[in-house]
Structure 1
Amino acid sequence: MTSALDTRAFEDLIFREARTANAFTDEPVAPEQLRAVYDLVKWGPTAMNSQPLRVLFLRSDEAKERLVPHLAEGNRAKTRSAPVVAVLAADTDFPEHMAVTFPHFANAREAFADDARRAEVARTNALLQVGYFIVGVRAVGLAAGPMTGFDAEGVRREFFAGSGVVPLVVVNIGHPDEAGYRPRNPRLDFEQAARVL
């Protein structure tokens, strides 16, 4: 059983104290840590257990250099210096995996025959998984620097040509350099963002 103190410390780790990282130390990120992130993320709920998120981890300088030209100028240097960069994408062919992996979804191909509906389900549920991914990175003790400032079509051509995989978010991952944090911006209060009917 987890104590209230342990719960508070975990909440601080993944929410209250966590920040978007813009710089990282030279400490490497082990392959086991990347696997640990995914092994947490896979348990987050998606519609019909669709799991459309696909993750491409870029570790080598050569792989990152293929990505850099497609990033907004302000995202290039920090991406080059990140130990790992994850390209998070939605697989619009997710029903193929559902039909093979889960026998009770044998009709998944037919259920998502409409291209526009299938693409929307893939995008919506992969974006849910993007949120889980950022929390997963924090939960294993790493820092995440998510970015949407990139040419998605260019990244698709570079890394996912000939597939139904559509890039959504790029996330720099590593051990945070405390000097790379910006001052924290305020957040909306409950009364500003929520209503109870």
Structure 2
Amino acid sequence: MTEKLSDAALDALFRTARTFNSYTDEPVPEAELHAIWELMKWGPTSANQLPARLVWCVSDEAKAKLAACVSDANKPKILAAPVTVIVGMDINFHEHLPELFPHTDAKAWFDGNTELREVSAMRNSTLQGAYFILAARALGLDTGPMSGFDNGAVDKAFFADQPGVRSNFISTLGHGDPASLHPRLPRPAFEKFNTIA
């Protein structure tokens, strides 16, 4: 059985962790991007599908290309962040299941069923995106996940050469600037949104 994490670890992952809109000038080395992936890839998904496809926008050119696809409010966040990550999803993830889920013919579950693949890709790439956030926090980094962009434009700009890959959401990444934080928004008590049946 896994031991309970310390309060400090729980704070870092959940209770005191925040979503950042601006960052310090401290860079994020490429090795840390690899380290995030090496943690997040272990998060559970349905039948080990792993449909997420990540684009790490680190160059000024890549960030400018992405900023052209987002709302006006999000443009400066992307341009100023050390890194912005596009969390995409591969609708043809099932082609990799013989390697990723080898003990049964899981690929056959999805062959010829685009609708099921789309639902599964959305669900499981979103899970992987959440693991990305937790892995970044665990490694001392901060994130700023966001919607507010044109999926079609992002897909054309970044996934045109990858048939079946579509954007899910995007997130900035870096060392958050505490001076930019607003007061913490409320979270409800258990009783408000939970039912024990």
| TM-score normalised according to structure 2 size | 0.93
**Which residue is 2:34 aligned to?**
35
Q: 1:47·1:125 contact (CA, 8 Å) conserved in 2?
A: yes
- 1:78-157 matches, within 5 Å, as 78-105=77-104, 107-113=105-111, 114-157=113-156
Cα distance, 1:103 vs. partner? 3.3
Cα distance, 1:109 vs. partner? 3.3
Return the alpha-carbon distance in structure 2 between the equivalents of residues 38 and 25 of structure 1: 22
Return the alpha-carbon distance in structure 2 between the equivalents of residues 100 and 138 of structure 1: 30
Asked if residue 10 in structure 1 is aligned to residue 9 in structure 2, the reply is yes
Return the alpha-carbon distance in structure 1 between the equivalents of residues 191 and 101 of structure 2: 42
Counterpart residue identity of residue 165, structure 2: V
Q: Which consecutive unaligned segments of at least 5 residues does structure 2 have?
A: none
Asked if residue 186 in structure 1 is aligned to residue 186 in structure 2, the reply is yes
Q: Percent identity?
A: 41
Q: What SS does the aligned partner of 2:73 have?
A: helix
Cα distance, 1:101 vs. partner? 4.4
Q: CA RMSD in A?
A: 1.7
**Which residue is 1:65 aligned to?**
64
| TM-score normalised according to structure 1 size | 0.93
Q: What SS does the aligned partner of 1:191 have?
A: helix
Q: What SS does the aligned partner of 1:56 have?
A: strand
- Which has more helix, going by share of residues? 1
Return the alpha-carbon distance in structure 1 between the equivalents of residues 194 and 37 of structure 2: 31
Return the alpha-carbon distance in structure 2 between the equivalents of residues 182 and 61 of structure 1: 27
Aligned residues between the structures = 195
Q: 1:68·1:79 contact (CA, 8 Å) conserved in 2?
A: yes
Runs of 4+ in structure 1 deviating by more than 3 angstroms, as ranges, are 100-103
Cα 1:101–1:48 shift into 2, 3 Å: closer
Q: Which consecutive unaligned segments of at least 5 residues does structure 1 have?
A: none
Cα distance, 1:110 vs. partner? 2.3
Cα distance, 1:3 vs. partner? 8.2
Cα distance, 1:57 vs. partner? 0.2
Return the alpha-carbon distance in structure 2 between the equivalents of residues 37 and 183 of structure 1: 28
